[in-house]
C-alpha cells in the first residue's frame, strides 16, 4: 500500500480556477463513471457533459477555450452552492452513496501496511467489521472499521456493513490487544445499524454492543473514531466510544435512520425529510451539540468526487488527533473519556413541589 496521495495536476492554464474555486477538473467528476448521480446533482452533471463535449474538440479556438474556463468556474460555483445548502435528508443520500470511499479504500490510500486479524475466538469471523494491525506513516495502530461493499458480491460478504455480535466481540478483543501492546486505536464507522436478524438476537446482539460501550470506556489507550458515511444507532456506537470523535462533512451520526423515525412517529415514510430535520444528525448539528470534536471537510461535491483528496484530508486529521492524544498522560486518559461522554446532552433541573 502506498501513502503517496498527491492529487493529479495538469497544465496551470487549463486547471486553475479563480480564488476559492481552485480545484482540478477531475474533482468534479464521480470517482465511478457508472455511478448514478443523486437527483440534486443532475444540473451539475448536465454542465459537466457540456464541458466534456467542448473539451473533446481538437485544437479549439480562443473563444472556445474561454468558454471552457468560464464553464469550469460555473460548475465549481454551482457545486459549492448545491452542497453548501443540502437538507439533512440529502446529506443522508450523500452518506449512503455507493461511490463514496469505504473502509477498504481508505486502508489502501491512507495506511502503509495492514495485517488483518480474524475471528472472535467463539463463533466466526464477521466480515462486516475489519480489524488488524496498521501503520500510519511511522505510527503503528490497531485498526477497526466497518465495510459495506459496493457490488452484490461484496455486500453479501460484508453484510452491508451490519455486524453480528461476533463482529463486536472481534472488535473489542482487538482493542484489548492494542491496549496490551500500548497501540492507539483507529475506528472507522460506516453502517446503517447492527444486524437485526433472528440469529444475531439469539446470540446476544444488544448485550454485545452494551458490553463494548462499557469496555471501550475503560481501555487505557488512545481511541480515535471517525464516521466516514453512515453512523447508524448502536451499530455505530458499538465501536465509537473514543477520545476524539470526528465526522466527515457529509456523513451523519444518528440514534435511528430518518425512515425508521418517520415510521415510528408519523407512521409513514413520506415524513422522512421532517424526521431528518428533527434528528439533528448532520456534522454541523453534532458539533454544535458537543457530540463530536471535529468536522472533516470533504472535497468540493463530496468525497465520492475525489477519493485521494478525501483520504489526504482524513489522514491529516487522524495524524493530528493521535499526536494530541499522545500528550495526555495515560492515567488521565480514561477519566477524560468518561467525562467527555458525561458532558453530552442538555438538561434542565427543577424543584418539584
Domains of the chain: 24-85 (no CATH), 94-342 (3.90.226.10)
- Report DSSP letters for 208-243, one per residue: HHHHHHHHHTT--S-EEEEEEEEEEHHHHHTT---S
pLDDT tier, 33 (very low <50, low <70, confident <90, very high otherwise):
low
Largest CA distance in the chain: 84
- CA–CA distance, 92 with 258 (Å, rounded to integer): 9
Q: In angstroms, what CA-CA distances link 200 with 167, 196, 212?
A: 10, 6, 16
Tens digit of each residue's pLDDT (9 = 90 or more) over 250-273: 999 999 999 999 999 999 989 999
- CA–CA distance, 155 with 162 (Å, rounded to integer): 10
User: Given a cut of 70, is residue 6 above it in pLDDT?
Assistant: no
The residue whose grid cell reads 425529510 is 273
Residue 17 or residue 217, greater confidence: 217
CA atoms within 13 A on the CB side of 233: 17
Question: Mean pLDDT, to the nearest integer, of 13-21?
Answer: 38
Tens digit of each residue's pLDDT (9 = 90 or more) over 166-215: 999 999 999 999 999 999 999 999 999 999 999 999 999 999 999 999 99
The residue whose grid cell reads 488488524 is 132
Which grid cell sits at 131? 480489524
Q: Can you name the residues that pair with 145 across neighbouring β-strands?
A: 130, 188
Question: Mean pLDDT, to the nearest integer, of 323-328?
Answer: 95
pLDDT tier, 13 (very low <50, low <70, confident <90, very high otherwise):
very low
Question: Mean pLDDT, to the nearest integer, of 315-332?
Answer: 95
Strand bridging mode 139-146 / 185-191: parallel
User: Given a cut of 60, is residue 288 above it in pLDDT?
Assistant: yes
Amino acid 7: pLDDT: 35
DSSP state of 282: B
- pTM of the predicted model as reported, rounded to 2 decimal places: 0.86
User: Given a cut of 80, is residue 10 above it in pLDDT?
Assistant: no
Amino acid 345: pLDDT: 77
pLDDT tier, 3 (very low <50, low <70, confident <90, very high otherwise):
very low
Q: H or E segment at 146?
A: strand 139-146
**Cβ contact 205:164 at 8 Å:** yes
Q: Look over the chain and give the mean of its residue pLDDT values, rounded to a whole number.
A: 89
∠ Cα 232 256 288 (to 5°) = 80
Amino acid at each position: 500500500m502506498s501513502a503517496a496521495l498527491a492529487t493529479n495536476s495538469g497544465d496551470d492554464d487549463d486547471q486553475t480556477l479563480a480564488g476559492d474555486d481552485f480545484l482540478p477538473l477531475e474533482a468534479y467528476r464521480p470517482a465511478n463513471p457508472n455511478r448514478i448521480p443523486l437527483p440534486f446533482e443532475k444540473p451539475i452533471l448536465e454542465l459537466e457533459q457540456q464541458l466534456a463535449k467542448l473539451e473533446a474538440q481538437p485544437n479549439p479556438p480562443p473563444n472556445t477555450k474561454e468558454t471552457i474556463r468560464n464553464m469550469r468556474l460555473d460548475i465549481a460555483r454551482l457545486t459549492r452552492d448545491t452542497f453548501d445548502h443540502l437538507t439533512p435528508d440529502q446529506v443522508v443520500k450523500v452518506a449512503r452513496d455507493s461511490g463514496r470511499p469505504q473502509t477498504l479504500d481508505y486502508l489502501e490510500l491512507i495506511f502503509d501496511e495492514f495485517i488483518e486479524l480474524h475471528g472472535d475466538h467463539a463463533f466466526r469471523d464477521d466480515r462486516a467489521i475489519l480489524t488488524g494491525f496498521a501503520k500510519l506513516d511511522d505510527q503503528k495502530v490497531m485498526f477497526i472499521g466497518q465495510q459495506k461493499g459496493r457490488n452484490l458480491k461484496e455486500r453479501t460478504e460484508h453484510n452491508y456493513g451490519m455486524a453480528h455480535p461476533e463482529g463486536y466481540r472481534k472488535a473489542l478483543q482487538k482493542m484489548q490487544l492494542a491496549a496490551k501492546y500500548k497501540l492507539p486505536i483507529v475506528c472507522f464507522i460506516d453502517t446503517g445499524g447492527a444486524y437485526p436478524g433472528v440469529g444475531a438476537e439469539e446470540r446476544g446482539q444488544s448485550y454485545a454492543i452494551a458490553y463494548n460501550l462499557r469496555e471501550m470506556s475503560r481501555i487505557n489507550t488512545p481511541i480515535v473514531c471517525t464516521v466516514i458515511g453512515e453512523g447508524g444507532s448502536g451499530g455505530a456506537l458499538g465501536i465509537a466510544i473514543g477520545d476524539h470523535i470526528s465526522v466527515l462533512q457529509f456523513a451523519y451520526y444518528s440514534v435511528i435512520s430518518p425512515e425508521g423515525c418517520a415510521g415510528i412517529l408519523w407512521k409513514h415514510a413520506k415524513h422522512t425529510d421532517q424526521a431528518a430535520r428533527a434528528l439533528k444528525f448532520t456534522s454541523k448539528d453534532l458539533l454544535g451539540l458537543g457530540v463530536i470534536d471535529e468536522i472533516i471537510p470533504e472535497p468540493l461535491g463530496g468525497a465520492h468526487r475525489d477519493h485521494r483528496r478525501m483520504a489526504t484530508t482524513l489522514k491529516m486529521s487522524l495524524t493530528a488527533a493521535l499526536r494530541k492524544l499522545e500528550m495526555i498522560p495515560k492515567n488521565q486518559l480514561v477519566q477524560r473519556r468518561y467525562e467527555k461522554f458525561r458532558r453530552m446532552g442538555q438538561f434542565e433541573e427543577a424543584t418539584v413541589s
